């Protein structure tokens, strides 16, 4: 029961500060679940992010569900998911009413522009975390060990998928299937 409360409070906190959406919240989840709590390891976290991206639904919700499932089973999945979305729903409803009341205000418009810039920064941070996890197996950059832990196979798959998606305009689902098959071949 104590772990469920800790899961709920952790994901409530993550949901409270998850401005910017799914990719922006990945570093927060990594920090809380892997670094601070130590509930799961880097490899499991990277696997959860991969599965969360491939399943339907918002990335932050999928990630919180899978992390909760990994830590405390079905009850953990429910508790982590509710914790993650509760603040977002409450804040969204409150902000909707506020913006409807003040939709002509220049100050509100400029505040939203500032939030857009902050969201972009969070998304870039999430992209960096995903790249570090994929290529080096860790979310924390350490220049001393990066050369030793570079996963050439992951870099090759990434480069191939990037090339195919940009130059050949291949369907993303096909790219996921091809990269999954390449991963099976390289890592089995």
Per residue in 135-167, pLDDT (tens digit) is 888 777 777 777 778 899 999 999 999 999 999
pLDDT at site 21: 67
Measure the CA–CA gap between 95 and 40, rounded to whole angstroms.
34
Measure the CA–CA gap between 37 and 10, rounded to whole angstroms.
9
Measure the CA–CA gap between 18 and 25, rounded to whole angstroms.
5
CB 122 within 8 A of CB 31: no
pTM exceeding the 0.85 threshold for the entire prediction: no
| pLDDT at residue 12 is higher than 90 | yes
Read off the pLDDT of each residue in 85-100 and give the average, rounded to a whole number: 89
Q: What stretches of 19-90 adopt beta strand conformation (E)?
A: none
CB 29 within 8 A of CB 35: no
pLDDT at site 187: 86
Measure the CA–CA gap between 94 and 88, rounded to whole angstroms.
10
Q: Is 135 helix (H, G, I), strand (E, B) or coil?
A: helix
pLDDT at site 33: 94
Average pLDDT, the chain: 88
pLDDT at site 117: 87
**pLDDT tens for residues 28-85?**
899 999 999 999 999 899 899 989 888 888 888 999 999 999 999 999 999 999 999 9
pLDDT at site 27: 87
pLDDT at site 17: 82
């Amino acid at each position: 029961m104590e772990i469920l409360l800790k899961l709920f409070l952790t994901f409530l906190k993550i949901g409270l500060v998850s401005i910017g959406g799914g990719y922006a919240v990945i570093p927060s989840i990594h920090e809380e679940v892997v670094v601070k709590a130590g509930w799961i390891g880097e490899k499991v976290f990277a696997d959860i992010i991969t599965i969360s991206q491939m399943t339907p639904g918002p990335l932050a919700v999928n990630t919180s569900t899978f992390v909760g499932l990994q830590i405390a089973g079905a009850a953990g999945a429910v508790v982590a998911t509710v914790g993650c979305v509760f603040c977002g729903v409450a804040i969204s409803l409150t902000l909707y009413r506020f913006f409807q009341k003040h939709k002509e205000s220049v100050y509100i418009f400029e505040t939203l522009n500032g939030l857009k810039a902050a969201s972009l920064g969070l998304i870039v941070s999430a992209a960096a975390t995903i790249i570090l996890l994929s290529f080096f197996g860790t979310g924390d950059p350490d220049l001393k060990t990066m050369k030793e832990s570079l996963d050439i196979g992951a870099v090759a798959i990434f480069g191939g998928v990037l090339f195919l998606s940009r130059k050949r305009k291949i369907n993303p689902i096909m790219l996921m299937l091809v990269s999954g098959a390449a991963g099976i071949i390289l890592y089995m």
